[in-house]
Protein backbone atom coordinates (compact mmCIF):
# COMPACT_ATOMS: atom_id res chain seq x y z
CA UNK A 1 0.00 0.00 0.00
CA UNK A 2 1.41 3.44 -0.89
CA UNK A 3 2.29 5.65 2.06
CA UNK A 4 0.96 9.10 2.83
CA UNK A 5 2.38 11.55 0.30
CA UNK A 6 5.17 13.47 2.02
CA UNK A 7 3.81 16.74 0.68
CA UNK A 8 0.35 16.24 2.24
CA UNK A 9 -0.99 19.18 4.22
CA UNK A 10 -3.99 19.05 6.56
CA UNK A 11 -5.60 22.49 6.72
CA UNK A 12 -8.81 24.09 7.97
CA UNK A 13 -11.54 24.05 5.33
CA UNK A 14 -12.67 27.40 3.94
CA UNK A 15 -15.43 28.54 1.62
CA UNK A 16 -12.89 28.65 -1.21
CA UNK A 17 -12.42 24.87 -0.82
CA UNK A 18 -16.07 24.01 -1.41
CA UNK A 19 -15.98 23.50 -5.20
CA UNK A 20 -13.28 20.81 -4.81
CA UNK A 21 -14.91 19.35 -1.68
CA UNK A 22 -18.27 19.11 -3.43
CA UNK A 23 -16.70 17.39 -6.44
CA UNK A 24 -15.32 14.65 -4.16
CA UNK A 25 -18.57 14.52 -2.16
CA UNK A 26 -20.73 13.93 -5.24
CA UNK A 27 -18.43 11.15 -6.47
CA UNK A 28 -18.27 9.49 -3.03
CA UNK A 29 -21.84 9.37 -1.72
CA UNK A 30 -25.27 8.40 -3.06
CA UNK A 31 -26.85 11.27 -1.09
CA UNK A 32 -24.13 13.92 -1.00
CA UNK A 33 -24.11 16.87 1.33
CA UNK A 34 -25.15 20.13 -0.31
CA UNK A 35 -23.15 23.32 -0.45
CA UNK A 36 -25.54 24.78 2.14
CA UNK A 37 -24.77 21.92 4.53
CA UNK A 38 -21.03 22.53 4.28
CA UNK A 39 -21.50 26.29 4.60
CA UNK A 40 -23.65 25.80 7.70
CA UNK A 41 -20.94 23.73 9.36
CA UNK A 42 -18.25 26.23 8.36
CA UNK A 43 -20.21 28.93 10.19
CA UNK A 44 -20.21 26.86 13.41
CA UNK A 45 -16.58 27.39 14.39
CA UNK A 46 -17.59 26.74 18.01
CA UNK A 47 -18.75 23.24 17.10
CA UNK A 48 -17.36 22.05 13.77
CA UNK A 49 -13.93 20.81 12.78
CA UNK A 50 -13.69 21.07 9.00
CA UNK A 51 -10.41 19.84 7.53
CA UNK A 52 -9.04 19.39 4.02
CA UNK A 53 -6.04 17.47 2.73
CA UNK A 54 -4.02 19.16 0.01
CA UNK A 55 -0.98 17.99 -1.92
CA UNK A 56 1.60 20.75 -1.81
CA UNK A 57 3.49 19.48 -4.83
CA UNK A 58 4.26 22.73 -6.57
CA UNK A 59 0.90 23.18 -8.28
CA UNK A 60 -0.94 26.35 -7.42
CA UNK A 61 -3.35 25.94 -5.88
CA UNK A 62 -2.35 22.62 -4.38
CA UNK A 63 -4.95 19.96 -5.30
CA UNK A 64 -7.51 19.09 -2.64
CA UNK A 65 -7.57 15.29 -2.25
CA UNK A 66 -9.81 14.72 0.77
CA UNK A 67 -11.76 16.26 3.62
CA UNK A 68 -13.26 15.50 7.01
CA UNK A 69 -16.14 17.14 8.88
CA UNK A 70 -16.69 16.60 12.59
CA UNK A 71 -18.42 18.20 15.56
CA UNK A 72 -17.15 18.44 19.11
CA UNK A 73 -20.09 18.49 21.50
CA UNK A 74 -19.10 18.67 25.15
CA UNK A 75 -16.70 15.71 25.48
CA UNK A 76 -17.63 13.87 22.28
CA UNK A 77 -16.12 14.17 18.83
CA UNK A 78 -18.62 13.07 16.20
CA UNK A 79 -17.14 12.26 12.78
CA UNK A 80 -19.82 13.30 10.30
CA UNK A 81 -18.20 13.03 6.89
CA UNK A 82 -14.89 11.75 5.54
CA UNK A 83 -13.99 11.29 1.90
CA UNK A 84 -10.91 11.05 -0.30
CA UNK A 85 -10.90 11.53 -4.06
CA UNK A 86 -11.00 8.20 -5.91
CA UNK A 87 -7.56 8.73 -7.46
CA UNK A 88 -5.98 9.25 -4.04
CA UNK A 89 -7.57 6.47 -1.98
CA UNK A 90 -5.52 3.85 -0.12
CA UNK A 91 -2.57 6.19 0.33
CA UNK A 92 -3.06 7.10 4.00
CA UNK A 93 -4.88 10.37 3.36
CA UNK A 94 -8.01 9.35 5.28
CA UNK A 95 -5.73 8.25 8.14
CA UNK A 96 -4.00 11.63 8.17
CA UNK A 97 -7.35 13.46 8.21
CA UNK A 98 -8.74 11.24 10.97
CA UNK A 99 -5.58 11.61 13.05
CA UNK A 100 -5.79 15.42 12.73
CA UNK A 101 -9.48 15.47 13.65
CA UNK A 102 -8.93 13.28 16.71
CA UNK A 103 -6.10 15.57 17.84
CA UNK A 104 -8.24 18.66 17.33
CA UNK A 105 -11.11 17.02 19.23
CA UNK A 106 -8.76 16.13 22.07
CA UNK A 107 -7.61 19.77 22.27
CA UNK A 108 -11.27 20.83 22.43
CA UNK A 109 -11.94 18.48 25.36
CA UNK A 110 -13.33 15.40 23.60
CA UNK A 111 -12.77 12.19 25.53
CA UNK A 112 -14.45 9.87 23.04
CA UNK A 113 -15.17 9.80 19.32
CA UNK A 114 -18.23 8.38 17.59
CA UNK A 115 -19.28 7.78 13.99
CA UNK A 116 -21.69 5.85 11.80
CA UNK A 117 -20.56 3.80 8.83
CA UNK A 118 -22.47 1.61 6.37
CA UNK A 119 -22.40 -2.02 7.47
CA UNK A 120 -21.17 -2.91 3.97
CA UNK A 121 -18.26 -0.46 4.07
CA UNK A 122 -15.68 -2.84 5.45
CA UNK A 123 -12.80 -0.74 4.14
CA UNK A 124 -13.84 2.25 6.22
CA UNK A 125 -14.47 0.00 9.22
CA UNK A 126 -10.92 -1.33 8.93
CA UNK A 127 -9.58 2.23 8.93
CA UNK A 128 -11.57 3.10 12.05
CA UNK A 129 -10.43 -0.06 13.82
CA UNK A 130 -6.81 1.03 13.25
CA UNK A 131 -7.69 4.03 15.43
CA UNK A 132 -9.28 1.81 18.13
CA UNK A 133 -12.89 2.42 17.13
CA UNK A 134 -15.10 -0.47 18.19
CA UNK A 135 -18.66 -1.35 17.14
CA UNK A 136 -21.18 -0.33 19.82
CA UNK A 137 -24.53 -0.63 18.05
CA UNK A 138 -26.54 -0.51 14.87
CA UNK A 139 -28.88 2.16 13.52
CA UNK A 140 -31.46 0.28 11.46
CA UNK A 141 -32.17 1.65 7.98
CA UNK A 142 -30.01 4.72 8.69
CA UNK A 143 -28.82 5.17 5.12
CA UNK A 144 -30.87 5.64 1.95
CA UNK A 145 -30.00 4.87 -1.68
CA UNK A 146 -29.55 2.06 -0.97
CA UNK A 147 -31.32 1.58 2.33
CA UNK A 148 -28.81 0.10 4.72
CA UNK A 149 -28.04 -0.15 8.41
CA UNK A 150 -25.30 1.93 9.99
CA UNK A 151 -22.75 0.44 12.33
CA UNK A 152 -22.09 2.79 15.25
CA UNK A 153 -18.42 2.83 16.15
CA UNK A 154 -16.85 4.47 19.18
CA UNK A 155 -13.33 5.20 20.33
CA UNK A 156 -12.63 5.94 24.00
CA UNK A 157 -8.83 5.74 23.81
CA UNK A 158 -7.40 8.39 21.53
Active-site position among 20, 25, 67, 128: 128
Report the C-alpha dihedral over residues 142, 143, 146, 149, rounded to 10 degrees.
Answer: -40
In whole angstroms, give the CA distance from residue 31 to residue 84: 16
Clarify whether 116 is annotated catalytic.
yes
Clarify whether 143 is annotated catalytic.
no
In whole angstroms, give the CA distance from residue 84 to residue 64: 9
In whole angstroms, give the CA distance from residue 144 to residue 150: 10
In whole angstroms, give the CA distance from residue 82 to residue 67: 6
Active-site position among 116, 134, 142, 143: 116
Active site amino acids: 116, 128
Amino acid sequence: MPSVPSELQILPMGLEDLPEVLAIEVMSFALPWTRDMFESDLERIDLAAMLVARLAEGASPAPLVGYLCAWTIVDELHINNLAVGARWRRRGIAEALLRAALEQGRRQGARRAVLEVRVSNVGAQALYRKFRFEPTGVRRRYYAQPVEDALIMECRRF
